[in-house]
Amino acid sequence: MLAKRWLIIFTVAIGNFMASLDGTIVNVSLPTMTADLGSNLSTIAWVTIAYRLVSATLLLTFGRLSDMIGSKPIYAYGFAIFTVGSGLAGIVAGSAEELVAYRVIQGVGSAMMLSNGFAIVTSVFPLQERGKAIGMMSISWTLGSSLGPALGGILLAQLGWRSIFTINLPIGLLGFLMARRFLEDTKRRPEARMDYLGTVTFVLALAPFLVALREISEAGSLVNVLIMLSVSVASLIALVIHERRVDDALLDLKLIRRPFFAASVIGRVGMVGSLAVVDLMVPFYLTGVLGYSPLFLGLLLISLPLTFGVVGSLSGWFSDKVGVLPLVLVGSFTMALTHFFFSMTMVQFDSVANVLLVLMFFGAASGLFFIPNSSGLMGDTPDSRKGFTSSVLPSSWNIGHSIGSAVASLTFTVSIPALSAVSLGELLRHGSASAAPVIVPGLQASFMAGGVMALSAILFYLVWGRRVQKMQ
């Protein structure tokens, strides 16, 4: 039985890694795709946007469906759909529009996998080992997201942009076969019904919100942002009103109102936003201020997910012994402190060893927080609703990362009002000697904002998390 449990974790980890990897691996190849497919920036950007939007908006839907019919078929066929989309994108796509359509197919498969992974794993591990198991799951997700740019650059240089998609074919086929053979189904609720109106309203609430955040991060039209946010808020209000009136609601409002659950989700959004600042701004610091090459930059950045993996595996085991609250508080405090320290010392703190140390602290803080956070959320969820919570975890990651990216871009731009996107590119082409004096104030402001987002996690856990900790 023990061997089968680890086969289940390995199977689910493959899906998590593939789905999260494809959210970031494509970015480095967008310029090459644009030239090869004869497209333009506004169209090719949807290669990334379409995947994230479809995946984010369908997570809760597939989480609900898995509560009804079980997680195994959703996860296994998610592998199949994702692999088919990868093959079409890598082999068939002859235009940017076709590539976007095939990325939509990938996004559907991604949502099917990501919405069910945690539910599958927690259903086969006893409570006292759940933190360790979720630690392995979270590591596969974070490694996929973090290694995407580096792996994408290597594949692009050696095999071309289509290899970024075709590499998924053998892995996806293996994952599908393993899912059909080894995965065990979760508890079903056959009496439940799909909340179609709630699903549509949720999509109308989330999709415009994510697009608005992208507009903000790119200093887009204020009118468009206000329109999309208005649609999002109105849809959210309608969603809450509807969900309170139906028995088989898409959103489990009773679960969401539980203090520990709410603190964990909001704190997770804040910490992911804080990590998004690191993902977005550290490359600009390493190239624009320190003048490092793209290859050396990629090698340095790998230190963050590696540290996360080591610390995360230990924190998952430790959370089974001492509980969730001490670790998430230490993790979020470490993240905030590292942000503030780096913001104030990035000009003086510029040797390779020092930069490596900062990245490792960011990775350690993430490992201390996210694995116990995920374990606590799944542990606070009844067995019949684990599919819902399993989908909340990646949903909150997508929302938090979008918020963090928008905040980082906005604070960077506001801190350097005379700098446009074009002139930033020109500065970077002229080298760090020209770029550093201009962009450092923007980088410092962005990391300060990242520290504040990490502090929000501490606040919500202290206000709500402690109350539930005493009840458990």
pLDDT at residue 470, rounded to an integer: 39
Task: Look up the domain containing 44 and give its range.
Answer: 1-193
Q: How many domains does the chain have?
A: 3
- Minimal CA–CA distance to 324: which of 53, 157, 134? 134
Same domain for 424 and 299? yes
Same domain for 351 and 435? yes
* 422 has a pLDDT exceeding 50: no
Same domain for 203 and 318? no
Same domain for 257 and 393? yes
Same domain for 337 and 225? no
> pLDDT, tens digit, for every residue of 200-248?
888 888 888 877 877 776 666 788 888 888 998 998 899 888 878 877 6
Same domain for 458 and 330? yes
Higher pLDDT, 146 or 156: 156
CATH of the domain at 48: 1.20.1250.20
Same domain for 175 and 152? yes
For the segment 250-259, the average pLDDT, to the nearest whole number, is: 76
Same domain for 452 and 319? yes
Higher pLDDT, 425 or 189: 189
> pLDDT, tens digit, for every residue of 152-201?
777 877 888 898 899 889 989 998 998 888 887 666 666 667 777 877 88
Q: What percent of the chain has pLDDT over 90?
A: 16
Average pLDDT, the chain: 80
Same domain for 372 and 270? yes
Same domain for 44 and 12? yes
Same domain for 297 and 242? no
pLDDT at residue 58, rounded to an integer: 85
Same domain for 452 and 426? yes
pLDDT at residue 80, rounded to an integer: 93
For the segment 432-459, the average pLDDT, to the nearest whole number, is: 83
Among residues 229, 247, 265, the one where a domain terminates is: 247
